[in-house]
Structure 1
């Protein structure tokens, strides 16, 4: 049986907040502060363990500390790993939150703000973004939580942070089930990607073509096709130990992306059914997003 019982974070919890410049670190930091976190910006990564030692020496002073790091910190990855190794050896719970966004959105945000990217030097904004991606790639790979803010405004990101890091700690696993179209690209923040293009495409059925996977006729057409029901059954069963493992590893947010060709019929219907089934698991909250629904 799945064990997803609520777990309250221990004292002196540490959160490393990092990610791409322009992806929303400041918004996330402000949201954490509003929830009572003590947020430190500009701290050299090698001083993380020193900071936590000072906190530990003053019980009750700071229970939840968030350290904001960016690529301008010299040797960010190696310094961060060294500092976190010392924190882990001291028995302190920590997580790494990484904020991501598409190149196009980041360029637009820097242009709107009329400021250069911190790593672009004499080049273009896009040059700075690419340099930062390269530097932060190993950090993103090892992050506990990755949030793609491309489709989020300021309020949407703040709400997401609030759901993940409320006053009592995240007591449920927040699962984001996202339908998408492969022709528009795979979601950057997907932990798991399911390809449902093996199901016949309703696009080629004239009376179903103008409808979407949220329509009952399309849903029935998709789910009643050979292999579709079995896929859903087995996929839910396969995800159960994964969700258990996320909790054991102190990960509380995951994105399951379900793709078809255009993100209108099959992926939408399967996402809705998966979400319905997964929401029945104990202590799992499910959010459904249809990324490409409405695109031509």
Structure 2
């Protein structure tokens, strides 16, 4: 007998916006989604997206490939499209962002001898830098970020399958974010927890220029007498909520941890919870917004 999810808890059809810098694996991801049963539309002009969604109902999952080569691409237009999709109750919308480090992207362009779409008469490096600047705000909005550096096409397809396989084969994806309250809450958070009550490594001169991924910073944060009871309660809450959200047909849950600058405490807590949930068998992605922003800007400074 085939079991079915009751109509009352069926999740709406998925729509996945697939984007990222040229050469990061977007075409491979799109093909993998098509093989999973998604209806795929690649390079759809953004101006046609409302017409597509307001047209006849599409009762199967939908994947849309979008990048800077789209005819009317614009960062603000794409962010607006993401906001509109997130507000629709009839679609389970997610943004899949494929990325790779600069050296890997240059290597891929060198191997294929292709010209970069943003630098047709220049070097691939110039085009890559321009494209990353354009896509930075979109990357920050991604629900699922896959770094394809070092991944073969087979590896990338397997990663896409793990995140987006429909039905019983699709796990609940969990993304855990660290962020700075100075820069506001990340969009799309389901749960937000404030870490500013924990003691701040910023006031230790030897730790100030490090971040929560460093063992010495993590040790400093976890040595706060309030840390263990705090983390135990957070973990117990998440252990309760994740199976419940999965049973309700939810495909993705975003959890945010904030501190003053998004560098020390929130990063350390994000790292520990991500590790604990991965150990429990959940499919986890972690995002450090301020670290990513700093890296994107090429800044050598840190936020408090």
TM-score, normalised to structure 2, is 0.59
- Aligned residues of 2:46 and 2:78 also touching (Cα < 8 A): yes
Q: Judging changes above 3 Å, is the alpha-carbon distance between structure 1 residues 51 and 105 closer, same or farther for their aligned structure 2 residues?
A: same
The DSSP-based 3-state class of the residue aligned with 2:137 is: helix
CA 1:88/1:148 → structure 2, altered by over 3 Å: closer, same or farther?
Answer: closer
Q: Distance in 2 between matches of 1:84 and 1:47?
A: 14
Counterpart CA distance in 2 for 1:127 and 1:100 is: 17
Q: Distance in 1 between matches of 2:48 and 2:275?
A: 45
The residue that corresponds to 1:172 in the other structure is 172
Q: Cα offset for 1:78?
A: 2.4
Root-mean-square deviation over aligned CA pairs: 4.1
Kindly state the Cα deviation for residue 130 of structure 1 after the two structures are TM-superposed.
0.4
**Structure 2 unmatched runs, 5+:** 1-8, 177-210, 258-270, 286-304
Tell me which residue corresponds to 1:278: 277
CA distance in 2 between counterparts of 1:198 and 1:137 reads 27
**Aligned mate of 1:197, from 184, 193, 216:** 216
Residues 1-296 of structure 1 mapped to structure 2, 5 A cutoff: 9-11=11-13, 13-56=14-57, 62-73=59-70, 74-93=72-91, 94-168=93-167, 170-173=170-173, 193-198=212-217, 227=223, 235=231, 237-238=233-234, 251=252, 277-279=276-278, 284-285=282-283
1:50 to partner: Cα distance: 1.2
Structure 1 residue ranges without an equivalent (≥5): 1-6, 177-191, 201-225, 257-270, 288-296
Deviations 1:98-125 (A, max 9, x none): 1111000000000000111111132211
Relative to structure 1, is the Cα distance of residues 41 and 286 closer, same or farther in structure 2, using a 3 angstrom cutoff? closer
SS at match of 1:95: strand
2:198 is aligned to none
Q: Secondary structure of 1:117's match?
A: coil
User: 1:124–1:163: structure 2 CA closer, same or farther, 3 Å change rule?
Assistant: same
Deviation at 1:80, TM superposition (A): 2.4
Q: Which has the higher contact order (CA 8 A, sep 6+)?
A: 1
Aligned residue pairs, count? 223
Q: Secondary structure at the match of 2:161?
A: helix
